[in-house]
Structure 1
Amino acid sequence: MRLPASAHTDRPWRIHEIAPDFRLEDVWALPVTGGPDDFPKLVDQMTSGEKPLPGVAGALFAVRRQLGRLLGWDREDSGLDGRVRSLRERLPDDLRGRAAGPAPRSLPFRPLYLTDDEWAAETANRTMHGVVHISWVPDGSGGHRARMAVLVKPNGLLGKAYMAAILPFRYTLVYPTLMRTIGRAWKARDTAPA
């Protein structure tokens, strides 16, 4: 379920001090609940997947990768430490000294930092510099719920046009598939024999 921006901005997340110049693009409630100590399990689940998204959403990612190759959007000099500097350079000392957490296997993101209730990873290409922020929020009854925020810094007119062009696909195809995939994997983890 999509959440209002305030569901992210009203919380004291560390990402606010690290990426204040990034635009909050999306905030989603992930279909994941658990106890206070389950956040590392969620981060492991989200980064260990090697399979692409299923169906039309997976096909869209494949088309995007092909377009990126054809148009040179994803060249090494277009990404982190090429066109843009990594946000790791902005980390405060207490986060810089910690493990950043795992890198996603199937997506071109680089981990930024990991705390007890936040994990952030970044990516960049010719169109934008983006951050995915996963958080673990108390639900008021002793449990926790997962949220995902996407922060973006478009690269000029190309980046703004690109973000506008993919908006309907993100909301109607990519995010619903992503939410179902995350929810099924979390539920399967809960029901897997020990």
Structure 2
Amino acid sequence: MRLPRTAHTDRPWRIHEIAGDFRVEDVWDLPTPGGPDDLARLVDQFRNGTGERVASPVGRALFAIRWKLGALLGWDGPADGVGTRVESLRDRLPQDLREGASGPDLSSFPFTSVYQTHDEWAAEMANRTVHGVLHIGWVEDADGAGGYHGRMAVLVKPNGLFGTLYMAAIKPFRYLGVYPAMIRGIGRAWEAGRADSGAP
């Protein structure tokens, strides 16, 4: 379920300390019911690429078109990534986060982990269009019954006017063809993992 930006900005996440110059683009609740200590399992699911990245044919086609355009137009070269065009957010971390677990990099998406805590994980990517952050938080269910679930926020810093126009152009495709299918895929992979582990 898509949520208002305040569902992310009103929580005391550590990401606010290092990404104040990024805007919150999207916030989604994830269909990943669990207990208070299950964020690490969700992060492992992202790391291992369990389930399809985008489960719908339309979503997969959109991703294929995007990567093809990026290759043709040179949007995704090494000179435009984290540590080259932009500095890594790891360089901004306060000491306790810098000395803590960084979390895993992703194989199915071009994201490098920034930090991981008990209830929060952040990873970043950059190309010629944008510097982006994937933030996964682990939150208590609103009904107060003791359950928890994941919440995904996408934070972005567009690269100038070109990046701003690019983000505006892809917005309808993200909402119609990418996010809903991706979130359904995350939920299916989570349920499959729960069944495999014998979790209730």
Q: After TM superposition, is the score higher than 0.5?
A: yes
User: For 1:45-94, what per-residue CA distance to the aligned partner results, in whole angstroms no more than 9, with x for missing partners?
Assistant: 01211744231111211111111111111010011111111110000000
Instruction: Provide the rounded CA distance (Å) in 1 between the counterparts of 2:197 and 2:11.
Output: 36
Contact 2:53 2:185 (C-alpha < 8 Å) held by counterparts: no
Partner of 1:114: 116
Q: How does 1:1-194 map to 2 (within 5 A)?
A: 1-49=1-49, 51-54=52-55, 55-139=57-141, 140-192=144-196, 194=198
The alignment partner of 1:33 has SS state of coil
Q: TM-score, normalised by structure 2?
A: 0.94
Instruction: Provide the rounded CA distance (Å) in 1 between the counterparts of 2:75 and 2:191.
Output: 36
The alignment partner of 2:150 has SS state of strand
Instruction: Provide the rounded CA distance (Å) in 1 between the counterparts of 2:69 and 2:53.
Output: 17
Instruction: Provide the rounded CA distance (Å) in 2 between the counterparts of 1:82 and 1:153.
Output: 15
Instruction: Provide the rounded CA distance (Å) in 2 between the counterparts of 1:52 and 1:190.
Output: 19
Instruction: Provide the rounded CA distance (Å) in 2 between the counterparts of 1:191 and 1:115.
Output: 26
**Amino acid paired to 2:156:** V
Task: Give the number of equivalent residue pairs.
Answer: 194
Instruction: Provide the rounded CA distance (Å) in 1 between the counterparts of 2:154 and 2:197.
Output: 34
Instruction: Provide the rounded CA distance (Å) in 1 between the counterparts of 2:38 and 2:164.
Output: 37
Q: How much has 1:193 moved relative to structure 2? A: 5.6
The alignment partner of 2:32 has SS state of strand
Q: What's the C-alpha RMSD, in Å, of the aligned pairs?
A: 1.1
State the percentage of identical aligned residues: 62
Contact 2:53 2:182 (C-alpha < 8 Å) held by counterparts: no
**Amino acid paired to 2:125:** T
Instruction: Provide the rounded CA distance (Å) in 1 between the counterparts of 2:197 and 2:7.
Output: 35
The alignment partner of 2:25 has SS state of strand
The alignment partner of 1:181 has SS state of helix
Contact 2:130 2:156 (C-alpha < 8 Å) held by counterparts: yes
The alignment partner of 1:135 has SS state of strand
Segments ≥4 residues shifted beyond 4 Å: none
Q: How much has 1:125 moved relative to structure 2? A: 0.4
